[in-house]
Structure 1
Amino acid sequence: MKLFLPKQHGAWAMLIIPFWLSVVASGFRWQQIPLFMGWLLLYLATFPMLQMVKGKKVSFYRKWTVIYLIPALLLLMIPLWARPSIAVFGLLMLPFFVINVYFSKKKQDRNLWNDFSAILVFAIGGLASGFLPNGEMNSGTILVFITSILFFVGSTFYVKTMIREKKNVTYKWISWIYHAIVPIAFLIIGYWIVAISYIPSLIRAIYFYGKPYTMKQVGILEIVNAALFFIVIVLAIN
């Protein structure tokens, strides 16, 4: 049976980076492995679940929701048993998931606010990962939360200027100004290593703008950029 997987490839980086940066920031505990696997399967379950609310191929999407959701919940029981208070992060995600449901029902999955909502959900997943080992969030975990959100918001602006809004001059300037402000802000408050992590994003937002890249090429460049961000933030929190 061929797996039914989400088509939003950028979401994989949003899922992985905040989670594992938080592991680096808080320290590793073996329960983070089933937490990650459960978190991954929960994400896989939400994709067909959101497709189901559109009212088409309901039985197909229901089947895949159940296939992913049951093992997700079983795996998540392991970290929940070790740290019951981690459930609060699931509650924090719910309002943003409701927003995703709303835009999915409206068939506006690419809406900017829907993207921002998804970014926050993944960032909260990172907080859960950082909270699990000691039952608290240290400064490194909070830094990961903030920097991840800022990075993926910038990525969202950039991808839109390359694909769906490539002829929209307003989006271009929003993207360029945003990508310039973020590293400058971190330099001003003294986080120069964090500021460096956003320089590749600034360069690619300006240099690659207007180039006739395919969606696949844009995605590959974003994978490289995300990897650079991950490495530099690891240096920043150590």
Structure 2
Amino acid sequence: MTQSSAHTETKAKPKRKKGGNAGWIPDQHGAWVMVIIPLVVGISVARPALIHVPLAVAWFVGYFAFFAAGLWMKARGPRKQRYVAPLVTYGIICVIASAVVVAMRPTILIFALVFGPLVAVAIWEAWNRRPRSLASGESTVLASCAMIPVTAWAAGDPMTTRLWVSTVVIALYFCGTIPYVKTLIRKRGDRAWFIGSVAYHLVAAVAVAVFAVAGLVTFLAVPAFLVVALRAWWMPWHAERRGTPWRPRTIGFGEMAVTVLVLVAALIPPVA
């Protein structure tokens, strides 16, 4: 699997060990790409800097803390206690790493205006036991994509047009994966979700084509997003036609290939 927390829907249901996840190690493997890629893309578009070390620690441990917090909010009664240790441990480490980042680059606090509302939505949905809602998924995806400009800002690099366009292109793709995956798993056979997903992907493809014509992104991004839009239609359509859902493993491997395709298209500079 390669996508956001919403994409954990594509995981095969494992045989849980007695007691379940203790909150120390996130088992939502699909979220890892959404944690790793923004940091890598930001550094690739900008430049590596020492501040990226504490920033990476704060970002990764922050994800661990968020995962533990989700389990804590979901649990009832005495079971809540088992998640306190990982939540507090990761929370303290995240605060310390974040403090180091702020000390090195105080103006990075401006991004609290972006992350604050997005994280608040995700926490609200988790608190109301809707961690896989569309609002929760999109808010976490957008927060992840916001890390691309954050890495550049942290290093003191200028907020170039290329940086913002790369961020938008990657966000367009990742935001679309949430409704797409739902049409294959939880919303399989739901006509409204299918139409909405396909419509979104067509609009995203048109937007990328406009960027390409304007010279803001390489023209390779256009066929890449056409492939993305095609798979948003064909995968659920074919599953319904044959009467058999796609295996989570197949969906995951397919998304790996598409993700690489989009990343390459987003990172290649447009021809002047």
Same fold by TM-score greater than 0.5: yes
Which residue does 2:225 correspond to in 1? 198
**Residues 155-190 of structure 1 deviation map (CA, whole Å, 9 limit, x = unaligned):** 111101110111101111211222222122222341
Cα deviation 1:64-94 (Å, max 9, x = unaligned): 1122222223333333222111122234212
Separation in structure 2 between the aligned mates of residue 197 and residue 79 of structure 1, nearest angstrom: 36
For normalisation by structure 1, the TM-score amounts to: 0.89
Structure 1: runs of 5 or more not aligned: none
RMSD of aligned alpha carbons: 2.3
3-state DSSP of counterpart to 1:198: helix
- Preserved contact between residue 118 and residue 142 of structure 2 (Cα < 8 Å): yes
Secondary structure of the 1:65 match is: helix
Matched, 1:235 2:258: no
The answer for the alignment partner of 1:218 in structure 2 is 251
Cα deviation code 1:195-214 (max 9, x no counterpart):
23323322322232243222
Q: Give the CA deviation at 1:3.
A: 7.0
The yes-or-no answer on 1:113 pairing with 2:113 is no
Tell me how far apart the structure 2 counterparts of residues 107 and 3 of structure 1 sit (CA, whole Å).
17
- What residue number does 2:91 align with? 69
Distance 1:197 1:29, change over 3 A: farther
Equivalence map 1:83-162=2 (5 Å)? 83-134=105-156, 136-162=158-184
> CA 1:60–1:3 in structure 2 vs 1: closer, same or farther (change >3 Å)?
closer
Per-residue deviation, 1:151: 0.8
Distance 1:106 1:42, change over 3 A: same
Q: 1:13 to 1:180 in 2, by over 3 A?
A: same
Following superposition, the deviation at residue 55 of structure 1 comes to: 4.6
| TM-score, structure 2 normalization | 0.78
How many Å separate the matches in 2 of 1:181 and 1:25? 25
Amino acid at match of 1:215: P
Kindly provide the amino acid, as one letter, of the partner of residue 32 in structure 1.
Answer: H
Identity of aligned residues (%): 22
Output the CA distance in 2 between the equivalents of 1:91 and 1:178.
26
Counterpart for residue 71 of structure 2: 51
Change (3 A) 1:138 1:230: same
Which ranges in structure 2 are unaligned for 5 or more consecutive residues?
1-21, 240-244
Cα distance, 1:237 vs structure 2: 6.5
Secondary structure of residue in 2 paired with 1:108: coil
What is aligned with 1:11? 31
Which is higher, the Rg of structure 1 or of structure 2?
A: 2
